[in-house]
Structure 1
Amino acid sequence: MTGSGRHDGAMTNEFPEPEILSVNGVELEVFEAGQHNAGRPIVLCHGWPEHAYSWRHQVPALVAAGYHVIVPNQRGYGRSSRPADVTAYDIGNLSGDLVGLLDHYGYSDATFVGHDWGAFVVWGLTLLHPDRVNRVINLSLPYQERGEKPWIELMEEVLGGDFYFVHFNRQPGVADAVLDGNTSRFLRNLYRRNVPPAPPEPISLATAEPAPGEPLMSDEELAVFIAAFEESGFTGGINWYRNLDRNWHRLAGVDPIIHQPTLMIYGDRDAVRPSERLADFVPNVEVVSLDCGHWIQQEKPEETNQAILKWLDQQ
């Protein structure tokens, strides 16, 4: 990959070398820093279609603040395992991987940080394994209320069959092939800042002419993502979407309240909108909004670091 810094030198911003760990029946590619801060673990969970490297700006700041920083490529990504079975990517397995990471390092609990789909996993982890999470920091995706209908079923009714969440579920393999065949163009078009507000259409981005807005990262940084997905493909990550209704059923009967202290960071221009009922389900929440789009920690790294470190200091 190029995800490792050993092969192409693309890892920058003091990003650590990876190691492969066996946890929860799979292998995870994990980037770890600040071992000298043992006892203060913080786990950073990427979204879709991302990579552990999306946290490159946060790792050195958190290490300097005294944290043992653990950044996995979650299953389906990078050089982590990519099981063939779609159900291997449900919230039980994804959260189980994170519990396995804590067990590997000998921690009873940790602070978990998630962006986008990583936030969904952190919310789910906190519901399913509340004793393993001491604090929650999530970016972009607020807590998703479990309504009366499974999520994909509801989206199909409200947003139609072409909405990409629904498309990923109802037309298996189609989006995967389009994205795999246009990896560089897709990621280059997707990772942009100052983009006019519009509903996300990742499948269209894979074949579009240059997208609006400005590049989010340097060519060297983008090369890390491109090389990683050229090696792994997109199916593993898309399989997370294919478990949304399964997750809805899995979370039935679970206490729906997040009791841990929580920081929620929104981007003012993110297509993912804030939740009006966040405090109903996350009563111990503090909310911060930054002037950016969806890729919060990469668009506004310093502001994100300041918000996280200030909040952690207050806990």
Structure 2
Amino acid sequence: MSALARQMPPVQHANLNGVDMAYYEVGPRGQGVPIVFCHGFPELAFSWRHQLRACEAAGRWAIAPDQRGYGLTSRPEAVTDYDLEHLTGDLVGLLDHLGVEKAIFCGHDWGGIVTWQMPLMHPDRCAGIIGLNTPFMPRGPFDPIAAMRMAFGEDMYIVWFQKPGVADAVLGADVDKTMRFFMRRPAALGEAEAGAGLDMSTPAAEGQSTFAFGDLLDAWDKSDTANQLLTPDELAAFVESFEATDFTGGINWYRNFTRNWERSADLPTRVDNIPCLMIMAEKDVVLSPAMAEGMEAYIGDLEKALVKDSGHWTQQEKPKEVNDLILGWMDRRFPR
């Protein structure tokens, strides 16, 4: 049995929106409003293992899919198959498969971007929205890739990801090293290392572009065990999965930043009449709490909460705190 199968509920599959989607389900199907957990990069439905267990113990219906390009779900070849129309469409298709009219969507990292798009693109399918680390980000006036390239240079990781095959090869060369590099706690004693356990604050003027994952991964000593987040079994679940799939599917999400921006010009700019919760992580430098400032101008019904001493991988770093916030909010806003 794989490390993944040993630590997750039985996997289920649904043919929807042009993909075979793998998903995990716990709790009483058909009772109450379900919550759908959406993972980020480089992650899996497995990233929500602690939340699935907590929902099951609380008698809450919960679903966590491997989203397209990841894990046991299909990996289409076309880059355009990973735009937000497809990614949100997959979640709608999953609700249709489960016979669900509306769900609460909870997203972390890239999953948070998808989750915040749901009430703009499919408001009739949203009962509630939870952003974990990822805030609602209004559409900007410029192509985001051009803006990031101008501000941070070619080595900034999202710009670097645009080059076909390059980041894919670097991250896939040693999957064990890549996952150990990413999945770290913030450094102790308030040091600059935060978020993914990286010091990504060095400006380009000092010879290193901000968030230059390629250079940082190459320079990182794999024998460094400081601040490792995962147990050996947890690490094995990620490593086995990405050794089987590589990272291209997930990277293709990033390759649609410009396309998503171009195609979002006519979308609504506010989220109203849907309860929303924003959970921030104190030490996440990738998605800092400061990025959530001003969300009240775009979200009509918003609560905020801060998880102390957490870096970027908050649902895995601080599962009890995250579980208490999610379930407490659901009990208030969606009582059974």
1:283 aligns with 2:300: yes
- CA shift, 1:4, in A, is 4.3
Deviations 1:246-295 (A, max 9, x none): 11112111111112211111110001123222111123111111121000
Cα separation, 1, equivalents of 2:63 and 2:170: 32
Check the 8 A contact 1:55/1:298 in 2, yes or no.
yes
Cα separation, 2, equivalents of 1:106 and 1:3: 31
- CA shift, 1:201, in A, is 3.8
For residue 213 of structure 2, the aligned residue among 189, 192, 202 is 202
1:233 aligns with 2:251: no
Check the 8 A contact 2:28/2:59 in 1, yes or no.
no
Aligned residues: 307
Cα separation, 2, equivalents of 1:137 and 1:241: 21
Residues 193 and 4 from structure 1, CA distance in 2 versus in 1: closer, same or farther, beyond 3 angstroms?
closer
Q: What residue number does 1:103 align with? A: 96
- CA shift, 1:144, in A, is 1.5
Q: What residue number does 2:130 align with? A: 137
Q: What residue number does 1:256 align with? A: 269
Deviations 1:81-124 (A, max 9, x none): 10000000000000000000000011111000000000001011
Check the 8 A contact 1:39/1:107 in 2, yes or no.
no
**Deviation beyond 6 Å, 4+ runs, structure 1:** none
Residues 254 and 3 from structure 1, CA distance in 2 versus in 1: closer, same or farther, beyond 3 angstroms?
farther
Q: What residue number does 1:182 align with? A: 174
For residue 173 of structure 1, the aligned residue among 155, 162, 165 is 165
Q: What residue number does 2:237 align with? A: 224
Check the 8 A contact 1:48/1:237 in 2, yes or no.
yes
Q: What residue number does 1:2 align with? A: 2
* Equivalent residue runs for 1:6-155 within 5 Å: 9=6, 11=7, 15-36=8-29, 38-155=31-148
Check the 8 A contact 2:102/2:127 in 1, yes or no.
yes
- CA shift, 1:3, in A, is 6.1
Amino acid at match of 1:280: A
- CA shift, 1:27, in A, is 0.6
Check the 8 A contact 2:156/2:213 in 1, yes or no.
no
Q: What residue number does 1:312 align with? A: 330
Cα separation, 2, equivalents of 1:268 and 1:224: 27
For residue 268 of structure 1, the aligned residue among 253, 278, 282 is 282
Once superposed, what is the RMSD of the aligned Cα atoms?
1.6
Cα separation, 2, equivalents of 1:174 and 1:122: 28
Check the 8 A contact 1:4/1:18 in 2, yes or no.
no
Cα separation, 1, equivalents of 2:2 and 2:23: 14
- CA shift, 1:39, in A, is 4.0
- CA shift, 1:64, in A, is 2.5
**Secondary structure at the residue paired with 2:141?**
coil
Question: Which blocks of at least 5 consecutive residues in structure 2 are unaligned?
Answer: 188-192, 201-210
Residues 308 and 257 from structure 1, CA distance in 2 versus in 1: closer, same or farther, beyond 3 angstroms?
same
Deviations 1:171-206 (A, max 9, x none): 211010011111110101110112324324432354
Question: Which blocks of at least 5 consecutive residues in structure 1 are unaligned?
Answer: none
Cα separation, 1, equivalents of 2:324 and 2:75: 35
- CA shift, 1:47, in A, is 0.3
Cα separation, 1, equivalents of 2:244 and 2:329: 37
Amino acid at match of 1:228: S
Q: Which moved more, 1:45-54 or 1:56-65?
A: 56-65
Check the 8 A contact 2:108/2:132 in 1, yes or no.
yes
Q: Which moved more, 1:93-102 or 1:276-285?
A: 276-285
Residues 51 and 37 from structure 1, CA distance in 2 versus in 1: closer, same or farther, beyond 3 angstroms?
same
Q: Which moved more, 1:147-156 or 1:294-303?
A: 147-156
Cα separation, 2, equivalents of 1:3 and 1:78: 13
Q: What residue number does 1:296 align with? A: 314
Cα separation, 2, equivalents of 1:53 and 1:221: 9
